[in-house]
Amino acid sequence: MTTLTLPIKLSSGVQRAMAEHRAVLAMESTVLTHGLPYPDNFEVLKILEQLCTDSGVEPATIIVLDGIAHIGMDEADIANLKDKMQNREQLHKFGRRELPIAMVKGLSGGTTVSATMLLAYYSGIKVFSTGGIGGVHRGWERTLDISSDLKALAEIPVIVVSAGCKAILDIPATLEYLETSGVPVFGWQTHDFPAFYSRKSGLKIDKVDSAKQLADIYKTMMALDAKSSGIILANPVPIAQEIPQEQISIHIEKAIQAAEDMGVGGKNLTPYLLSFLAESTQGLSVATNLALLKNNVIIGAQIAKELV
Ligand code: PSU
Ligand code: MN
């Protein structure tokens, strides 16, 4: 078999940063294609990339456009994405298993945590900031719906900075799955695993105190085991933007009931629940979403700098 050149393109900024041995932070794109309304999503992209640059770290938003995995977007790529946004149905949601078909068929879409982790690792990027990770869905006993994010976390040695996961999921089962898979889960200066909108889920995890400490843990893990898992760093949403659990849980119960009534499942379930929540909280969830994304980029950038 001849060797295949994969359709993976590094942005000019990422190429430069790598050549100069400067820190790079990966970011996902499902939040752009499926998580946030247009044109707010482009505003968020700009804000997050600027925050990253201000921290002295090169942003690498990962996305698939016309079958090419982009590791960071140049101006022309952002224009191309904006164009595709006008006909949003053509933008898919790609998990890890869908990357080869997207590349072969020349499709476009956002990459989930599992796909972003794979492309980041392949490109030599060790840290990735996102909003929330996928996990074990409620009712998994019946549906076996477990996000491929968890399997990717078990198999790909990338640090994923998130605000935990939403209570649309079965959070205790998600943490059990991660424990079984040997994935370390740390709280950023806290023992509380956050539940995305809320700073606490009621579940306890280990704590890290600094970016240096986490970077040292990552290096130690890699030295011990060449086939290491990823690491989850759970960073609670800032207090000012927190939505208390009692308040958000009403919306979450409604979202889950609506999905059940509509028979939504498989890869459509998470986007359905996310957009239901955005609508039913009337934008409240969008402000929280932006606050925690920014918070995760700031911490992710600190860690990326410790790992160059
Ligand atoms: N949870 C969120 N926001 C998100 C997602 C999950 O709070 O944007 C997205 C991420 O891209 C994640 C994906 O990787 O959904 C998980 O989808 P699934 O449950 O189908 O694996
Ligand atoms: Mn699923």
pLDDT digits (tens, 9 = 90+) for 19-47: 999 999 999 999 899 888 899 899 999 99
Higher-confidence residue of 271 and 104: namely 104
Residue from 35, 30, 24, 23 nearest 290 by CA: 35
Contacts of 158 by beta carbon, 8 Å cutoff, 6+ apart: 26, 117, 120, 121, 125, 126, 127, 128, 230, 231
Cα-flanking dihedrals φ and ψ of residue 167, to 5°? -75, 5
User: Alpha-carbon distance 307 to 174, whole Å?
Assistant: 28
Span from the CA of 63 to the centroid of ligand 1 (angstroms) = 14
Joined together, the tokens standing for residue 130 give: 């996102």
**Poorest-confidence range of 111-115, 186-190, 226-230?**
226-230
Query: Does ligand 1 come within 6 angstroms of the Cβ of 113?
Result: yes
For residue 1, is pLDDT > 80?
Answer: no
CB 269 within 8 A of CB 259: yes
pTM of the model: 0.97
Residues with CB under 5 A from ligand 2 (ion): 145
Torsion 259-262-266-269 (CA) sign: negative
- Domain(s) of CATH 3.40.1790.10: residues in the chain: 1-125, 131-158+168-308
For residue 2, is pLDDT > 80?
Answer: no
* 3-state secondary structure string across 102-135: HHHHCCEEEECHHHHHHHHHHHCCCEEECCCCCC
pLDDT digits (tens, 9 = 90+) for 235-245: 999 999 999 99
**CATH architecture group of domain 131-158+168-308:** 3-Layer(aba) Sandwich (3.40)
Q: Which residues are catalytic?
A: 28, 166
Q: Which amino acid is at 153?
A: L
Q: Compute the mean pLDDT over every residue in the chain, rounded to the nearest whole number.
A: 96
Span from the CA of 31 to the centroid of ligand 1 (angstroms) = 8
The atom number, within ligand 1, closest to the CA of 165 reads 7
CB 197 within 8 A of CB 164: no
Omega of the bond prior to 271 within 30 degrees of 0, cis?
Answer: no
Say what the pLDDT of residue 111 is.
Answer: 98
For residue 134, is pLDDT > 80?
Answer: yes
Burial class of residue 8 (count of CB atoms within 10 Å of its CB; 0-12, 13-18, 19+)? middle
Say what the pLDDT of residue 248 is.
Answer: 94
User: Alpha-carbon distance 161 to 90, whole Å?
Assistant: 29
Burial class of residue 304 (count of CB atoms within 10 Å of its CB; 0-12, 13-18, 19+)? buried
**CATH architecture group of domain 1-125:** 3-Layer(aba) Sandwich (3.40)
The atom number, within ligand 1, closest to the CA of 137 reads 19
